[in-house]
Amino acid sequence: MKTTIGFIGCGNIAKAMIGGLIKSKTISSESIMVSNRTPDKLERINNSYGVLTTTENKEVARFADILILSVKTNKYYEVIGEVKDSIKKNTVIVSIAAGRSMDSIEEAFEKKIKLVRTMPNIPAIVGEAMSALCHNDMVREDEFESVINIFKSFGEVEVVDEELMDVVTAISGSSPALVYLFIESLADGAVLKGFPRNKAYKLVSQAVLGAAKIVLETGKHPGQLKDEVCSAGGTTIEAIYALEKKGFRGHVIEAVEKGTEKSKKLSGK
């Protein structure tokens, strides 16, 4: 990729993205610049990947052909106000923020901008992110393809309509935490029955990983795969029955509904 990429913010997602870009050789380290207010974070990212670093957000804005805003949602408009007059004319802005619509971001910049809205998730840290992307009508297809390639360097990508981004936040952005809760609960059950906790986490985590991989690689409906594991009168159907008696599916669906509503509330919808 013959372009320059700037990151404002150096949290877990930004570090995962930078690691994916460097490891995949999508771009060279000297074509990436990162800003953060904490010099220690910048030193660590420089030591790990050799990228350019600065404590000045405006310096990154002036540097980048693709500028990735990876800051906390409540700091978004503050950072935009700081850098909006420093970005280059044709810079593509990449937003990573729950509940921040493209309209609201464009309004904060107070001018027409090339804007891509994204929602990656925390498995980017291990190169297994699921990211959803959409863009405004200022972004050319080749520019959008460049952004897609950035996100493909640390996981899978889907292009969606912006109206679905609040749902993406609930089912992709937030869902790893729900899966962690499920893993912890299964392990707690094993510990209750005398199983060592460290071994329980390994067995359960690998089972979850393998089950998800089967869905992705076979394309089979999850219900069909569930039925294939549940033999008549067996242990698995007994466990399914215990969950269904407590309304397991309904609670999970409600969690998605609540997460979507919260994302919409953040955007003022």
Report how far residue 243's alpha carbon sits from residue 251's, in angstroms, rounded to the nearest whole number: 10
Parallel, antiparallel or unpaired: strands 32-35 and 129-135:
unpaired
Q: Tell me: pLDDT of 165 over 60.
A: yes
Higher pLDDT, 80 or 98: 80
When pLDDT is cut at 50, 70 and 90, the band that residue 1 belongs to is: low
Q: Tell me: pLDDT of 269 over 70.
A: no
Compute the mean pLDDT over every residue in the chain, rounded to the nearest whole number. Answer: 94
Q: Specify whether the CB–CB gap between 114 and 87 falls below 8 A.
A: no
Q: Tell me: pLDDT of 142 over 90.
A: yes
* pLDDT score, position 260: 93
Mean pLDDT of the region 142-165: 95
When pLDDT is cut at 50, 70 and 90, the band that residue 243 belongs to is: very high
Q: Tell me: pLDDT of 122 over 80.
A: yes
Token pair 């013959």 is at which residue? Answer: 2
Token pair 């220690």 is at which residue? Answer: 40
Predicted confidence (pLDDT) per residue in 53-93, tens digit: 999 999 999 999 999 999 988 888 999 999 999 999 999 99
* pLDDT score, position 130: 95
- Structural domains present in the chain: 5-162 (3.40.50.720), 173-266 (1.10.3730.10)
Mean pLDDT of the region 23-37: 92
* pLDDT score, position 94: 97
At 116, phi and psi to the nearest 5? -120, 125
Higher pLDDT, 220 or 264: 220
Predicted confidence (pLDDT) per residue in 102-115, tens digit: 999 999 999 999 99
Q: Tell me: pLDDT of 268 over 80.
A: no
Q: Tell me: pLDDT of 264 over 90.
A: no
* pLDDT score, position 80: 95
Any residues with CB less than 8 A from the CB of 197 and at least 6 apart, and which?
Answer: 187, 190, 191
Report how far residue 122's alpha carbon sits from residue 180's, in angstroms, rounded to the nearest whole number: 12
Half-sphere exposure of 8 (CA within 13 A, CB side): 32
* pLDDT score, position 214: 97
DSSP state of 171: I
Predicted confidence (pLDDT) per residue in 184-229, tens digit: 999 999 999 999 999 999 999 999 999 999 999 999 999 999 999 9
When pLDDT is cut at 50, 70 and 90, the band that residue 163 belongs to is: very high
- Among residues of the chain, what percentage have pLDDT more than 70? 99
Mean pLDDT of the region 1-17: 89
Q: Tell me: pLDDT of 258 over 70.
A: yes
Cα end-to-end distance, the chain, whole Å: 37
Q: Tell me: pLDDT of 240 over 60.
A: yes
Q: What is the pTM of this model?
A: 0.89
Any residues with CB less than 8 A from the CB of 140 and at least 6 apart, and which?
Answer: 114
What is the signed CA dihedral for 103, 63, 56, 21, rounded to 10 degrees? 80
Higher pLDDT, 1 or 138: 138
